[in-house]
Amino acid sequence: MPRVKVTIPDPLLQVAADAAQKAGKKIDDLYEAGIAEFIEANRTTTPGSMRSRGGMPASSPKLTIEIPEELFQEAEKLAKRLGKRRDVIYALGLAKHVKYDANANVDDNHGHGDSSELPTGRWQSSESAES
């Protein structure tokens, strides 16, 4: 399985860690499910239809996750087709899977911050999986 470095905003990491612990799974498992769901939901999405979000905070933690080769290749194809970086696809997939509301106010019941905490960026072929 490919090992991929991902950047994840602190609030999303906390939500994902809590969800993983509650489900008795690893964050890798949540990423895998989230990426798969995101790919399926966006099979017919056009490149211009995904609006960019704010940049990833420089202090965001970096994790190395393992996902199946087939899922990695599908995410790579979707990222390229949409003109988005792979980590954007991964973050959006994970956020949707754990029901992380990036647009929620920190004072509301979700308390997860705003959309500036999710990554943005264009796809670049130089981003490759690490073995």
Domain borders along the chain are 3-117
Q: Which two tokens stand for residue 83?
A: 């003109």
Residues 6+ apart with CB under 8 A from 22: none
Identity of the residue numbered 110: H
CATH 1.10.1220 fits 3-117, yes or no: yes
The confidence score (pLDDT) of residue 124 equals 44
Question: Which one, of 7, 8, 79, lies nearest residue 50 by Cα?
Answer: 79
Residue 72 pLDDT > 90, yes or no?
Answer: yes
Mean pLDDT, range 54-72, rounded to an integer = 81
The confidence score (pLDDT) of residue 86 equals 86
The confidence score (pLDDT) of residue 126 equals 42
**What's the N-to-C CA distance of the chain in angstroms?**
8
What pTM, to 2 d.p., does this model score? 0.71
Q: How would residue 117 be classed by pLDDT, with cut points 50, 70 and 90?
A: low
DSSP state of 35: H
Residue 105 pLDDT > 80, yes or no?
Answer: no
